[in-house]
């Protein structure tokens, strides 16, 4: 299993779905590639700049349009949510 810290995320579309991410090693990945890697057993996560708390990122399907995307596991910290990361 490989671990990848997501540091930025680009959104697009009617529901502002994440379409690509950047990782701490400088790699840019499409959401499709991230979803495949998670399914294969790799870990993706974000880190809160204010608390250092990690949030795992998981595969997710939009309830409105059924598009496959990603989201971070909910916790009490908001600045580690993949949806709240700066654009790449």
Query: Residue 32 has what pLDDT?
Result: 97
Has residue 53 been placed in a domain? yes
Query: Residue 63 has what pLDDT?
Result: 84
Has residue 36 been placed in a domain? yes
- pLDDT above 90 for 78: no
Check residues 88 and 62 and name the one with the higher pLDDT. 88
CA dist., res. 72 & res. 60, Å (int): 9
CB 29 within 8 Å of CB 38:
no
CA-CA distances (angstroms) from residue 61 to 27, 68, 69? 24, 4, 6
Has residue 10 been placed in a domain? yes
Tell me the average pLDDT across 73-88.
85
54: its two tokens: 């990690």
CA dist., res. 78 & res. 88, Å (int): 19
75: its two tokens: 């916790």
Determine the structural domain holding residue 51 and report its residue range: 3-73
Query: pTM for the whole thing?
Result: 0.90
- pLDDT above 90 for 64: no
């Amino acid at each position: 299993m490989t671990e990848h810290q997501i540091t930025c995320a680009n959104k697009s579309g009617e529901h502002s779905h994440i379409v690509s991410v950047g990782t701490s090693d400088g790699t840019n990945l499409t959401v499709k590639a991230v979803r495949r890697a998670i399914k294969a057993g790799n870990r993706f996560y974000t880190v809160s700049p204010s608390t250092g708390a990690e949030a795992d990122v998981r595969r997710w399907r939009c309830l409105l349009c059924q598009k496959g995307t990603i989201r971070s596991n909910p916790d009490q910290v908001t600045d580690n949510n993949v949806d709240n990361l700066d654009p790449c």
